[in-house]
């Protein structure tokens, strides 16, 4: 992190009292949701239409360039839920992220158009986001790049009591469109770590799990905007 062309006025700076109250409500909701979904059927990512995961999508050099271009204040350990909203034209080196989107996604979903809006979100250990679908102001297709460390994102389909845990590794890309974007909810549980399955050679035996503590992570989520939506 260091000198940057990012505008510090774009930070989402709600007052700390409101943030603390919101976090308390979110964490209470999260406990209820996790308990409810604990018995739901776990399904593989391949069974969710419109959901794709690409590990090691970004070169380490580009990951470092983007991280070093961001303001140091974004990563202060004293601040949870820090966000930076950006709209085109994106500053360098963020413009390079469009080049790492799959060609079939760009042509079939975004109709060969680049991202128009992005949000940089910092997650400290214990941070998360409640189950949700993206706002209708955004068009179909969501692309999320992960930086710094790994974290588990949970996809749920409450109407059928289905869930899917996806381990988002640093440098990876996850894409949602169609049913994955409009029907499934996605979330990051509020907790200090994640239970991660260990690899097993025996496909008939459920894999053992290990608890991996979280470290600071940030993501860049890229979207397109619905044509008739205006800002300001």
Does residue 180 contact residue 195 with C-beta atoms inside 8 Å?
Answer: no
pLDDT of residue 6: 54
pLDDT of residue 74: 87
pLDDT of residue 11: 41
pLDDT of residue 76: 80
15 Cβ neighbours under 8 A, 6+ residues apart: none
pLDDT digits (tens, 9 = 90+) for 21-59: 344 444 444 455 566 777 899 999 999 999 999 999 999
Does residue 171 contact residue 147 with C-beta atoms inside 8 Å?
Answer: yes
pLDDT of residue 20: 44
Q: What are phi and psi of 230, to 5 degrees?
A: -125, 155
CB atoms within 10 A of CB 13: 12
User: Per-residue b/e over 18-29, b at no fewer than 16 CB within 10 Å?
Assistant: eeeeebeeeeee
**In the predicted model, is pLDDT for residue 176 greater than 70?**
yes
In sign, the C-alpha dihedral spanning 214, 218, 222, 226 is: positive
34 Cβ neighbours under 8 A, 6+ residues apart: 189
Q: Would the pTM count as exceeding 0.85? A: no
C-alpha of 77 from chain center: 19
**In the predicted model, is pLDDT for residue 16 greater than 90?**
no
Higher pLDDT, 176 or 83: 176
% of the chain surpassing 70 pLDDT? 78
| Beta strand ranges found along 34-159 (DSSP E) | 41-42, 51-54, 83-87, 117-123, 129-132, 138-147, 151-157
Q: HSE (CB half, 13 Å, CA atoms) of 165? A: 16
Which of 61-75, 164-178, 207-221 ranks highest by mean pLDDT? 164-178
Which tokens hold the place of 158? 């409450």
Which tokens hold the place of 1? 């992190």
| Average pLDDT over all residues of the chain | 85
**In the predicted model, is pLDDT for residue 80 greater than 60?**
yes
% of the chain surpassing 90 pLDDT? 68
Task: Kindly report whether the peptide bond that precedes residue 93 is cis, defined as omega within 30 degrees of 0.
Answer: yes
H helices of the chain, in order, are: 16-37, 60-69, 103-108, 179-182
Distance between CA atoms of 149 and 71, rounded to whole angstroms? 18
CATH class as words, domain 8-225: mainly beta
């Amino acid at each position: 992190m260091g000198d940057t062309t990012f505008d510090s006025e774009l930070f989402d700076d709600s007052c700390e009292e409101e943030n603390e109250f919101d976090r308390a409500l979110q964490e209470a909701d999260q406990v209820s949701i996790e308990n409810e979904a604990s018995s739901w059927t776990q399904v593989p990512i391949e069974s969710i239409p419109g959901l794709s995961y690409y590990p090691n999508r970004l070169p380490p050099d580009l990951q470092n360039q983007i991280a070093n271009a961001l303001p140091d204040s974004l990563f202060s350990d004293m601040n949870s839920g820090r966000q930076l909203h950006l709209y085109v034209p994106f500053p360098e080196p963020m413009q390079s992220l469009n080049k790492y989107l799959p060609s079939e996604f760009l042509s079939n979903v975004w109709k060969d158009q680049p991202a128009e809006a992005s949000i940089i979100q910092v997650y400290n250990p214990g941070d998360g986001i409640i189950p949700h679908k993206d706002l209708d102001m955004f068009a179909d297709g969501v692309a999320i790049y992960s930086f710094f460390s790994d974290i588990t994102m949970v996809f749920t389909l409450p109407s059928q009591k289905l869930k899917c845990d996806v381990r988002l590794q640093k440098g990876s890309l996850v894409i949602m469109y169609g049913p994955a974007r409009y029907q499934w909810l996605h979330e990051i549980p509020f907790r200090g770590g994640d239970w991660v399955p260990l690899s097993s050679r025996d496909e008939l035996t459920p894999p053992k799990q290990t608890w991996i503590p979280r470290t600071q992570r940030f993501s860049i989520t890229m979207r397109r905007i619905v044509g008739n939506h205006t800002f300001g």
